[in-house]
Amino acid sequence: MVMIDSKIRKADDLYGLIEDGDEIAVGLSGGKDSTVLLWALAKLREYCRKEFGITGITVDPGFLGRKGDYSKLSSFCTSLGIKHVIKEDSLYDVVFEKRRESNPCSLCARMRRGSLNRCAKENGCNKVALGHHMDDVAATFWMNFKNEGRIATFSPSTYLDRIGITVIRPMVLCREREVIHAANELDVPVIESLCPVNGKTERASVSKLMLDDLGFLGDDVVQKTFEAIQRSGISGYGITNSRE
């Protein structure tokens, strides 16, 4: 039984992510996280008392100098009754060809988010939903601690005043293993990334190696890290003595 939609509803109850009348753009990369998120929001919309719209937006970075094939994503959106917008961009050319970044992920991510937010605005959306889950929350926390000595991670909801868009992360209560299970159970389309450094990013390293190394803290470092974040006063989490 897929429970992702119920956990998204719980996250909405805790953090006030979705409001009546929202137009939500889902950043649809083609990976399992964003595709499952799209399905779950469509499912939630069926029984949620709030009325909100959903648009799937895919930013095509033009990896390896060619357009991506997102036809399976478009068909998936159609099956859910959701509009799919493909935004072609020149990220690959800028990051890999012109600037030849030795550490391209940070710049590429910023440019991709900017393109996604602008496209969302152009399509009448006031919110952008990203597919980050609890394991991403924990990985970001420890990456900030390791690299910068900061106690910080991204928030479930962030208002970007420069563009007037609110970024929400409805799957922060979902574990990665649950998302993988849902993706397999639902047989959602997953598009393999053509990025030259796919799977070699620092986030991937932290997720797979550093969190494993922290196993001495207990059986479930991700869950314990998340509960500590909730009790810590880190911006946006604001829950005391919360437990899954």
pLDDT tens across the length of the chain (244 residues): 468 989 999 999 999 999 999 999 999 988 999 999 999 999 999 988 899 999 999 998 777 666 778 899 999 999 999 999 998 876 656 666 555 656 666 666 777 888 899 999 999 999 999 999 999 999 889 888 888 889 999 999 999 999 999 999 999 999 999 999 999 999 999 987 766 665 555 555 555 666 676 665 656 888 989 999 998 878 898 754 444 4
Pair 120, 113: CB distance under 8 Å: no
135 beta partners: none
Looking at beta carbons, which pairs linking 215-224 to residues 24 or more positions away fall under 8 Å? Answer: 221/138, 222/134, 222/135, 222/138, 222/175, 223/134, 223/175
Entry pTM: 0.88
Distance (Å, whole) CA 212 – CA 121 = 39
Task: Give the chain's end-to-end CA distance (angstroms, integer).
Answer: 18
Q: Which domains does the chain have, with CATH numbers?
A: 4-232 (3.40.50.620)
